[in-house]
């Protein structure tokens, strides 16, 4: 078997011991003891990864010492101090207000390699919440601040693993945006860091904290609609082309491009915008099936009670009608073969048809998770149940508060109080990576060859029919070799890798630039 052999990380006791968070005191914000090296207040960029990790690891070693046990579990009256890393839409629009809205919680530091974003966020916090914050260009400086209890990582996914691991090593809890990782191996290290350093790591798959979704899951599991036959997860998010320049985009003076690239390749950009559009290149992003798909796949996996990867996976897709610098698919279907029920995933970034303003949908919804049962179906995210004739028979309500959930777990000191623990976030993100790995190993194919490879899998054939009809509505010739056909990949579920497929296993782990190598925990 050609698999990467993994050091097992603890989960529910089957794969090794879990750090006893409920028994051993959690230390949200230890002071670096005088006898141990402390990361300096403003280390220069020449501070190497090795030096930083040595210092942070030495500090983390202090977590078991009696001298820091006094702040082991935060009481109801203790103020929780949060540092936010990454000041884009999620950082400024969700993380800052999300934490500031909670009683006894304050954002005390923000970080971004773009000085314009940093200054704008600092001013917004001062104007809106009437207090000042520390500002940092280098995330290592923020993580080194002993006053910070928790770090919110709101960067793009290629910049998720390092700050999460470093924060755990420095004794801080973490809220990390989805998708958790850029590669499966990274997620494994993040889980291990959480367990090794006894830190809480919450992932931004916020449906896990939704009362509405939980009630819908309970209803399906009650058996009132009979057995689950299959699950269709889908996301129809309209995206525009990201541009295609003849000359590289000029990097603004306000942006430290070295810091911004971090672990990813530092390369010239031929798109029109620097920031969010990096999601649509493999160097820094993972496409819609991971970026958005992790939400839907997480709900599907939660519903089915599946705690590992599917038995096999296959993807079909392409980047159609967009003449731009993007290289991830904008239209993609993936079949995840789970023992309990198959999970089908569909993503469309184009309108319903050429020249149309309509948005594609599945059973009336643009983005949702449809659990088809024997006696009807449930739209898990929107919270509605229907009979097989399409008549609405039940609805579910309730909100979500993922930031509050992390804070509550910090106060209780119990890992099991987290709704979206890092292990669950890793599992769901890893599922989406398997689909992308199939796609990235694909070849150009015409419709007949694709149907032949799909074989005697009726639900997959039906999904491909929807995919094909959508392409035809955009005048894509499906009978020419315009479509990327990924292989069926058999998965070693225990070791989170692929059976007898060296090429696929090479995509389980990334390669990183020297100063930003992600450590093996």
Convert the pLDDT of each residue in 214-252 to its tens digit: 999 999 999 999 999 999 999 999 999 999 999 999 999
Instruction: Count the Cβ atoms, other than its own, within 10 Å of residue 388.
Output: 12
**Mean pLDDT, residues 134-151:** 98
- Report the pLDDT value the prediction gives residue 276, as an integer from 0 to 100: 86
Phi, psi values for residue 421, rounded to 5°: -60, 155
Rounded Cα gap, residues 303 and 318, in angstroms: 29
Instruction: Count the Cβ atoms, other than its own, within 10 Å of residue 408.
Output: 15
- Which residue in this structure is represented by tokens 């029920």? 341
Average pLDDT of the residues of the chain: 89
Q: Is residue 153 part of a domain?
A: no
Instruction: Count the Cβ atoms, other than its own, within 10 Å of residue 515.
Output: 16
Q: Is residue 408 part of a domain?
A: no
Q: Is residue 44 part of a domain?
A: no
Lowest mean pLDDT segment, chosen from 36-45, 75-84, 418-427, 432-441: 36-45
Q: Domain containing 343 — which CATH number?
A: 3.30.360.10
Q: Is residue 271 part of a domain?
A: no
Q: Is residue 297 part of a domain?
A: yes
Rounded Cα gap, residues 440 and 319, in angstroms: 12
pLDDT, tens digit, 9 for 90 and up, residues 36-57? 222 332 333 334 545 654 555 4
How many domains would you assign to the chain? 1
Q: Is residue 64 part of a domain?
A: no
Q: Is residue 219 part of a domain?
A: yes
For 190, the 3-state DSSP assignment is helix
Domain around 360: 211-238+277-400+423-509
**Mean pLDDT, residues 290-313:** 98
If we measure between CA atoms, which residue out of 9, 21, 16, 56 comes closest to residue 185? Answer: 9
Q: Place 5 in a pLDDT band, splitting at 50, 70 and 90.
A: very low
Rounded Cα gap, residues 342 and 463, in angstroms: 12
- Determine if the pTM surpasses 0.95: no
DSSP 151: E
If we measure between CA atoms, which residue out of 113, 78, 111 comes closest to residue 95? Answer: 111
If we measure between CA atoms, which residue out of 400, 395, 470, 460 comes closest to residue 236? Answer: 470
Three-state secondary structure of 61-104: HHHHCHHHHHHCCCCCCCCEEEEEECCCHHHHHHHHHHHHCCCC
Rounded Cα gap, residues 50 and 460, in angstroms: 48
Sign of CA dihedral 52, 55, 60, 61: positive
Q: Is residue 435 part of a domain?
A: yes
């Amino acid at each position: 078997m050609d698999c990467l052999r993994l050091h097992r990380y603890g989960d529910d006791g089957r794969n090794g011991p879990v750090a006893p968070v409920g028994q051993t005191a959690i230390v949200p914000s230890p002071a670096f003891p005088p006898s141990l090296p402390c990361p300096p207040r403003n280390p220069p960029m020449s501070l190497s990864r090795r030096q930083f990790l040595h210092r942070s690891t030495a500090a983390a070693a202090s977590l078991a010492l009696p001298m820091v046990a006094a702040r082991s579990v935060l009481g109801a009256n203790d103020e929780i101090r949060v540092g936010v890393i990454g000041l884009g839409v999620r950082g400024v629009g969700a993380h800052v207000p999300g934490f500031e809205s909670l009683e006894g919680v304050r954002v005390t530091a923000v970080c971004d390699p773009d000085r314009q974003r940093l200054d704008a966020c600092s001013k917004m916090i001062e104007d809106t919440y009437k207090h000042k914050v520390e500002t940092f260009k280098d995330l290592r400086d923020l993580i080194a601040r002993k006053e910070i209890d928790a770090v919110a990582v709101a960067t793009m996914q290629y910049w998720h693993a390092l700050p999460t691991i470093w924060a755990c090593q420095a004794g801080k809890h973490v809220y990390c945006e989805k998708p958790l990782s850029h590669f499966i191996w990274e997620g494994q290290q993040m889980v291990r860091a959480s367990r090794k350093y006894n830190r809480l790591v919450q992932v931004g798959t916020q449906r896990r904290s939704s009362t509405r979704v939980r009630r819908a899951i309970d209803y399906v599991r009650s058996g009132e609609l009979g057995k689950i036959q299959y699950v269709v997860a889908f996301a129809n998010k309209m995206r525009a082309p990201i541009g295609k320049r003849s000359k590289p985009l000029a990097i603004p003076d306000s942006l430290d491009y070295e810091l911004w690239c971090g672990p990813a390749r530092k390369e010239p950009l031929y798109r029109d915008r620097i920031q969010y559009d990096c999601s649509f290149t493999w160097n820094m992003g993972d496409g819609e099936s991971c970026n958005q798909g992790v939400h839907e796949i997480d709900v599907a996996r939660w519903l089915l009670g599946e705690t590992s990867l599917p038995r096999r996976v296959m993807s079909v897709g392409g980047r159609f009608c967009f003449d731009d610098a993007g290289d991830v698919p904008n239209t993609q279907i993936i079949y995840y073969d789970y023992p309990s029920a198959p999970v089908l995933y569909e993503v469309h970034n184009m309108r319903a048809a050429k020249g149309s303003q309509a948005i594609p949908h599945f059973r009336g919804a643009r983005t949702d998770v449809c659990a088809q049962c024997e006696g009807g179906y449930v739209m898990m995210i929107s919270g509605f149940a229907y009979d097989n004739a399409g008549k609405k028979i039940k609805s579910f309500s309730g909100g979500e508060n993922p930031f509050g959930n992390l804070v509550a777990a910090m106060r209780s000191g119990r890992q099991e109080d987290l709704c979206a623990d890092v292990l669950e976030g890793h599992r769901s993100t890893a599922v989406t990576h398997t689909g992308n790995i199939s796609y990235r190993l694909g070849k150009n194919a015409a419709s007949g060859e694709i149907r032949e490879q799909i074989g005697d899998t009726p639900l997959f054939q039906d999904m491909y029919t929807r995919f094909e009809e959508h392409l035809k509505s955009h005048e894509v010739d499906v009978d020419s070799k315009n479509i990327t056909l990924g292989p069926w990949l058999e998965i070693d579920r225990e070791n989170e890798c692929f059976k007898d497929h060296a090429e696929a296993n090479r995509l389980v782990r990334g390669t990183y630039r020297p100063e930003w190598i992600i450590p093996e925990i």
